[in-house]
Copies of this chain bind each other. A is one copy, B any other.
Amino acid sequence: MRLELDSLTHRYGNEPAVDDVSFGLESGELVALLGPSGCGKTTLVQAIAGHIHPTAGRVLLRGADVTDVPAESRQVSVVFQQSTLFPHMTVSENVAYGLAARDTGSERRDEVVSEYLELVDLRDQRGAYPSELSGGQRRRVELARALAPQPDLLVLDEPLSALDRTLREQLRDEIARIQRETGVTTLFVTHDQEEAMTLADRLVVMNDGTVSGIGEPRTLYESPPTPFIASFLGRSNTFSATVIDQQPLTIAVGETEITLNGSQKDVSTGSTVTCHVRPRDISFRDSANDGANLSLAAEITRVVDIGTHYDVTVRIDTGDELVVECAGNPPAVGESLSLALSERQMTVFGPG
């Protein structure tokens, strides 16, 4: 393992910010660390980089315990969440700084600096000071500074959050490309699910200081192990149902009975379960929804035009409201329709 956290716990005063977190990154992996605001992501980053000493647990890098090793000996390139550009250095001096520490010759240094400034689209700002840059430009310089020394371990704490989508996607692709090409092991902290899922080989989803789930993006997205992950990894609709039968699992949603052939959920008959389905995965039944084997009756309660598509809110038998994403020609409010959803895209969580 390139990077491993072993039962890491950190308290600020008495407040535990991170509680018994363990996970590892294999060499060459790109793992996204994902979780809501305040869940402890930055705390983990600081512990990995060596700027806080964890209350308990160990940090291992390249197989060795580095919990007591100072930051400069850890060889981890970090983009911090809060800007840490050196205000007394120009953009290119900032980027060159990490290279100088690694004894890169000055000619080669210039080359590398140019290359990475090119990458983040800031050729023209070479000579500017950080105070003369916009918020997004600063972020890009930090990214270039972290990448330029070509580290074998990269930790990025929300590197793209201040950028517009075009640039974000472009840099995201570049990070992915660099990662693919150089095989640098990368921990990518983000609060953006889409970003995480696009980039990462694996996701570590945190909630409230603990790890809530680890796995490949599609697995976590399609078969979320916990309701938290289900709702966190994308827009989610939930509605309750009652278990009627076990083999095959049959549930009643209001008056509609649904049989789930593929699900092997260990729930007892009669218990109430929570079903989860994404707005994208519901459609209005018409001739084309062949793959969607389940049906639910619903009434349209609200239609919102959000530019790229419409959000249609519907009420089903149970009284639960679901949101359906719909690309064009939305139905009218008040209309009664049948919803189509496929078993594969529905997850059932047991009570409790």
Taking Cβ atoms with an 8 Å cutoff, the residues of A that contact B are 12, 15, 34-39, 41-42, 81-82, 132-137, 139-140, 158, 161-169, 191-194, 197-198, 217-218, 221, 231-235, 280, 287-288, 291, 305-309, 327-329
8 contacting pairs across A/B (C-beta < 8 A): A42-B134, A164-B192, A164-B193, A164-B232, A166-B231, A198-B307, A218-B307, A280-B308
Q: Is the CB of A81 within 8 A of B164?
A: no
Q: Is the CB of B164 within 8 A of A198?
A: no
The residue of chain B having its C-beta at the shortest distance from the C-beta of A132 within the complex is B12
Q: Is the CB of A191 within 8 A of B136?
A: yes
Which residue in B135, B139, B191, B306 is a CB contact (below 8 Å) of A165? B191
Q: Closest CB of chain B to A158's CB: distance in Å?
A: 7
Q: Is the CB of B197 within 8 A of A37?
A: no
Q: A280-B327, A308-B194 are in contact. Are A38 and B134 (CB under 8 A)?
A: yes
With A and B bound together, what is the CA distance between A165 and B235 in angstroms?
9
Q: Is the CB of A308 within 8 A of B192?
A: no
Q: A165-B192, A191-B162 are in contact. Are A38 and B136 (CB under 8 A)?
A: yes
Which residue in B12, B167, B291 is a CB contact (below 8 Å) of A328? B291
The residue of chain B having its C-beta at the shortest distance from the C-beta of A327 within the complex is B280
Residue numbers in B under 8 Å from A291 (CB-CB): 328-329
Q: Closest CB of chain B to A277's CB: distance in Å?
A: 13
Q: Closest CB of chain B to A247's CB: distance in Å?
A: 28
The 4 closest A-B pairs by CB, nearest first: A37-B136, A197-B307, A164-B191, A288-B288
Could you say which of A165, A231, A232, A307 has the most chain B C-beta atoms within 10 Å of its C-beta? Answer: A307
Residue numbers in B under 8 Å from A191 (CB-CB): 136, 162-165, 167-168
Q: Is the CB of A221 within 8 A of B164?
A: no
With A and B bound together, what is the CA distance between A140 and B38 in angstroms?
11
Q: Is the CB of B136 within 8 A of A165?
A: no
Q: A38-B133, A308-B221, A327-B280 are in contact. Are A193 and B165 (CB under 8 A)?
A: yes
Q: Is the CB of A35 within 8 A of B164?
A: yes
Q: Is the CB of B308 within 8 A of A234?
A: yes
With A and B bound together, what is the CA distance between A166 and B228 in angstroms?
11
Q: Is the CB of B158 within 8 A of A162?
A: yes
Q: Is the CB of B136 within 8 A of A167?
A: no
With A and B bound together, what is the CA distance between A295 and B323 in angstroms?
32
Residue numbers in B under 8 Å from A15 (CB-CB): 132
With A and B bound together, what is the CA distance between A133 and B38 in angstroms?
7
The residue of chain B having its C-beta at the shortest distance from the C-beta of A162 within the complex is B161
The residue of chain B having its C-beta at the shortest distance from the C-beta of A220 within the complex is B307
Q: Is the CB of A306 within 8 A of B197?
A: yes
Residue numbers in B under 8 Å from A133 (CB-CB): 38
Which residue in B34, B39, B135 is a CB contact (below 8 Å) of A158? B135
Residue numbers in B under 8 Å from A306 (CB-CB): 194, 197-198, 217
The residue of chain B having its C-beta at the shortest distance from the C-beta of A136 within the complex is B37
Which residue in B36, B194, B307 is a CB contact (below 8 Å) of A217? B307
Q: Closest CB of chain B to A283's CB: distance in Å?
A: 10
Residue numbers in B under 8 Å from A165 (CB-CB): 191-194, 232
With A and B bound together, what is the CA distance between A232 and B167 in angstroms?
10
Residue numbers in B under 8 Å from A221 (CB-CB): 307-308
In the complex, given contacts A37-B163, A221-B308, what are 20 additional A-B residue pairs having Cβ atoms less than 8 angstroms apart? A37-B135, A37-B139, A37-B162, A38-B133, A38-B136, A81-B135, A161-B161, A164-B232, A165-B194, A165-B232, A166-B231, A166-B232, A167-B191, A169-B235, A194-B307, A197-B306, A197-B307, A217-B306, A218-B305, A280-B308
